[in-house]
Chain A
């Protein structure tokens, strides 16, 4: 089946530790995105990438890092510099041509203890 996978679904970490969230897609999409969702709020863009080995900061990039070594993969690292990392993280992908519709993964809920 084509789609986007995120793992793990739930993740617990101690304060001060870096943690990496996985995102893989087999839709052959050029663009990939990471969003953060907090309770009762909309989605805020963290980072996005339109091509392998290139990525841009979104609205709330501080305390996060990404890499795009393969077209299919766009891992997100939540660093210890992120002041309030507990949130629901959503990965998405989409084509660069056409209407820019995005397809979302199931999300990872990160809890920092």
Chain B
């Protein structure tokens, strides 16, 4: 099927540390790929996206590159802040729907 697997959490980091959250997807078709972020008690917000191989999505210091050869879309940020504490979801498009990973909880400590 069209599925997404992302790194299990929780992840706890100190401020200014480097963050990586791994995400891989099943290679059916040519999906668009997304990272969404969810702050406590809220809905999901789109963080970044990529629509084809080698595209790099970026926003708020976060980046992810669409790697077709490894079917991956890993999320990275070079220096996290306390305000980056949230749940991060990787997703792929699937016939006008989205398939989501299980989410990774990130906590950044001051």
Contact = CB atoms under 8 A, between A and B. Distances in A.
Given A42-B89, A99-B49, A107 B103 contact: no
A102 B44 CA distance: 9
Interface of A: 4, 6, 31, 33, 40-43, 45, 48, 50, 58, 90, 92, 94, 96, 99-107, 109
Interface residues of B, number: 21
Contacts, number: 54
Contacts of A101: 32, 34, 46, 49
B97 interface: yes
B101 A42 contact: yes
Contacts of B98: 100, 102
Contacts of A109: 41
B93 interface: yes
A31 B45 contact: no
